Amino acid sequence: MKKSKYLLFTELCQFLDLKEDQVKKKWSKFDEDEKWDLVKGFVSVWSVHFHPLSPRSVKQMIEEYLRVTKCADVAAANTSLTDSETQLHPIA
């Protein structure tokens, strides 16, 4: 399911002709109505080529993917910070 969410997100990025980080930033700034309009437009075009999903399913999958990747980004940043601290203050 994780891969499905990623594939769906990359299709959305292609639909918008934006890079992943640009879509992440824009999505977080959209209000609910803007998200619904975007998802409905995406589904109407995208479903011509793929098994159709409901706009609700697409929106949920995109939000879950972004939530998981945001958590992973935070974890990676914390690990990087911990590694940097270890290099500055090696454990004897």
Does any domain span residue 18? yes
Q: What is the pLDDT of residues 43-79, one digit of tens each?
A: 888 877 766 678 888 899 899 989 888 776 666 667 6
- Per the CB < 8 A criterion, the answer to whether 5 and 64 are in contact is yes
Does any domain span residue 79? no
Number of domains, the chain: 1
Does any domain span residue 23? yes
Does any domain span residue 46? yes
Helix/strand/coil (H/E/C) assignment for every residue in 7-27: HHHHHHHHHHCCCHHHHHHHH
The overall pTM is greater than 0.75: no
Does any domain span residue 60? yes
Does any domain span residue 62? yes
Domain that holds residue 32: 2-70
